[in-house]
């Protein structure tokens, strides 16, 4: 199964090429085809093909013992892409590109030992806040190599995992109290354009994720019932392109009630948006009109919200809280207001109630501390 063709090279001279089928790769199940060029005549091309076939028959296809970590990763990532959303795939491949492949890519995977893995894990633990996630992804490639029969043992499963500060402890600090939130929003309203203040007010009083807020269109907001439908999210996919995709989980698709003040702020922003964009010749009175958009009426890059926050926090020396920290803030304040756990879980779209419980535990401890202070003040002794 081969074809031979004569072609014209860039310098005007003629040469021959062949295209041939060599067999099926036992690791991927894909056909192996090759193209070779630069032969003086057809006979020379035929002879080269015969030699190539003989080499494959004698040496086989790529042998497992010669496969590097990169080779196995290239096989694994094709299958992985079929199981996750594009934004998740983009984040995962970035972790591999920045941290995992630099450690293992050129090594033959069956030669990687426990000591080599331990050095890599120690390095990740010293640099990365969530190093366990990186370890888990790296481990998936070793597991896939075992599935393919390339290795019989997984060296990464035998490493000692360094003890680091629990990620949950970091999350506890990533929130505002009721008073801190009021100060933050006051400064936002004072310093920033209407749409930026509206964006942060919405996050703080709804608990939605920033990607969910940036994906909102005006048809998602019902001013009659004071509700907002959350049914999509903005994310970054391959090559950092922006894409709108379904919410993070099935639970994330939800309709939430909103307070009248926040809805009035949204009304005000919609009017300002119409006036501002009309000056640019853009009609925003469309059902699919974005609630928050850039000057070209396109999606705003999600990371932009972080810059907005930092500028206010630095200017007024406020507590450093991330954009996601406003979601944590909303959750904490719901508990302090006495809202039941199940209702908080539904409102925030947590698929796992344990996520909600982790925040509840933190708030419960704060309430216990407040109770002791209240008792001491009452006793006044």
Q: Which CATH class is domain 2-61?
A: alpha beta
Region of poorest pLDDT, from 72-76, 264-268, 290-294, 310-314? 72-76
At 366 the pLDDT is: 60
Average pLDDT over residues 105-132: 94
At 170 the pLDDT is: 43
Residues 202-243 pLDDT 10s: 999 999 999 999 999 999 999 999 999 999 999 888 888 888
- Of the pLDDT bands very low, low, confident and very high (cuts 50, 70, 90), residue 368 is low
Domain boundaries defined on the chain: 2-61, 69-164, 171-371
- Of the pLDDT bands very low, low, confident and very high (cuts 50, 70, 90), residue 66 is confident
At 37 the pLDDT is: 86
At 342 the pLDDT is: 87
C-alpha 293/C-alpha 282 separation (Å) is: 12
- Of the pLDDT bands very low, low, confident and very high (cuts 50, 70, 90), residue 265 is very high
Instruction: Calculate the average pLDDT of the chain.
Output: 87
**CATH number for the domain running over 171-371:** 1.10.443.10
At 158 the pLDDT is: 94
Residues 150-193 pLDDT 10s: 888 899 999 999 987 554 444 447 889 899 999 999 999 999 99
At 152 the pLDDT is: 84
At 35 the pLDDT is: 86
Judged against a pLDDT cut of 90, whether residue 105 lies above it is answered with yes
Which has more confidence, 307 or 360? 307
Average pLDDT over residues 12-37: 79
Residue partners of 308: CB distance under 8 A and separation at least 6: 192, 196, 199, 200
State the first-to-last Cα distance of the chain, in angstroms, to the nearest integer: 97
At 25 the pLDDT is: 67
**Structure token digits, residue 32:** 């192996």
Q: How far is CA 109 from the centre of its chain?
A: 27
Region of poorest pLDDT, from 36-40, 107-111, 200-204? 36-40
Q: How many beta carbons lie within 10 A of that of residue 347, not counting itself? A: 19
At 138 the pLDDT is: 97
At 171 the pLDDT is: 44
Average pLDDT over residues 353-367: 66
Judged against a pLDDT cut of 50, whether residue 343 lies above it is answered with yes
At 61 the pLDDT is: 47
Average pLDDT over residues 41-60: 76
Region of poorest pLDDT, from 111-115, 309-313, 355-359? 355-359
69-164: CATH topology:
DNA polymerase; domain 1 (1.10.150)
Contact 201, 179 (CB under 8 A): no
Q: Which stretch, 139-153, 170-184, 357-371, has highest mean pLDDT?
A: 139-153
Average pLDDT over residues 100-127: 95
Average pLDDT over residues 278-302: 92
Average pLDDT over residues 33-40: 85
Which has more confidence, 299 or 48? 299
Average pLDDT over residues 105-111: 93
At 169 the pLDDT is: 41
Average pLDDT over residues 91-96: 94
Whole-Å CA distances, 58 to 21, 51, 52, 61, 63: 16, 11, 10, 9, 12
Average pLDDT over residues 53-67: 63
């Amino acid at each position: 199964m081969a074809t031979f063709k004569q072609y014209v090279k860039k310098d005007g001279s003629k040469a021959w090429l062949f295209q041939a089928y060599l067999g099926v790769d036992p690791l991927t199940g894909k056909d192996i085809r090759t193209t070779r060029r630069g032969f003086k005549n057809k006979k020379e091309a035929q002879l080269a093909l015969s030699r190539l076939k003989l080499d494959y028959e004698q040496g086989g296809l790529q042998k497992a013992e010669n496969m590097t970590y990169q080779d196995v990763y290239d096989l694994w990532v094709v299958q992985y892409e079929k199981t996750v959303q594009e934004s998740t795939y983009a984040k995962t491949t970035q972790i591999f590109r920045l941290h995992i492949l630099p450690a293992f890519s050129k090594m033959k995977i069956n030669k990687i030992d426990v000591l080599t893995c331990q050095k890599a894990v120690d390095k990740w633990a010293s640099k990365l806040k969530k190093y366990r996630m990186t370890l888990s992804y790296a481990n998936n490639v070793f597991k896939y190599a075992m599935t393919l029969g390339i290795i019989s043992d997984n060296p990464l499963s035998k490493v000692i995992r360094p003890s680091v500060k629990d990620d949950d402890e970091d999350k506890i600090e990533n929130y505002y109290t009721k008073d801190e939130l009021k100060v933050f929003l006051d400064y936002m309203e004072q310093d920033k354009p209407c749409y930026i203040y509206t964006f942060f007010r919405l996050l703080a009083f709804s608990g939605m994720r920033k990607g969910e807020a940036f994906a909102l269109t005006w048809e998602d907001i019902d001013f009659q019932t004071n509700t907002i439908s959350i049914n999509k999210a903005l994310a970054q996919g391959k090559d950092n392109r922006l894409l709108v995709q379904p919410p993070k989980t099935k639970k994330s698709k939800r309709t939430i009630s909103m307070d009248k003040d926040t809805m009035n702020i949204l009304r005000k922003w919609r009017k300002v948006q119409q006036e501002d964009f009309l000056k640019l010749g853009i009609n925003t009175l469309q059902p699919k009109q974005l609630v928050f958009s850039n000057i070209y009426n396109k999606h705003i890059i999600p990371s932009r919200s972080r810059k907005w926050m930092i500028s206010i926090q630095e200017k007024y020396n406020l507590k450093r809280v991330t954009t996601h920290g406003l979601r944590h803030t909303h959750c904490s304040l719901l508990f302090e207001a006495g809202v039941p756990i199940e209702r908080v879980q539904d409102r925030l779209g947590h698929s796992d109630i344990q996520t909600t419980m982790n925040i509840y535990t933190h708030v419960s401890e704060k309430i216990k501390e407040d109770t002791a202070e209240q008792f001491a003040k009452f006793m006044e002794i």
